[in-house]
Amino acid sequence: MKNKHKITLEGEDYTKAYDMHYKKKDLPKAFNLYRGIIADYPNTDEARYSLSQVQNIVNAVVPKQEVMDALVAMTLAHFKQDVRMDAVSGSDASLAM
């Protein structure tokens, strides 16, 4: 029986990151490897898996309150950005307040 799984560069990179994460327990190195996969191969399954692993590392090392504070700050910044963009595009001025 032939191997149905073709080995790809992104697959090799993901395997390295996963091994660094779970076998060697080097979270900073694994984190950076996962980020590289997301940047280099954004539309692949490996990028989606890597994003999930990045979230696992964040949840393991960053206190929950810090994660929540960062999520709130990012969301509020995007709300402000969206309002400014709407105001500039000429939509209802009452939304810009």
pLDDT tens string 63-96 = 999 999 999 999 999 998 876 655 555 544 444 4
**pLDDT of amino acid 81:** 83
Q: Which tens digits make up the pLDDT trace of 14-59?
A: 999 999 999 999 999 999 999 999 999 999 999 999 999 999 999 9
- What lies within 8 Å, CB to CB, of 20 at 6+ separation is 26, 29, 30, 33
Q: Are 50 and 16 within 8 A, CB to CB?
A: no
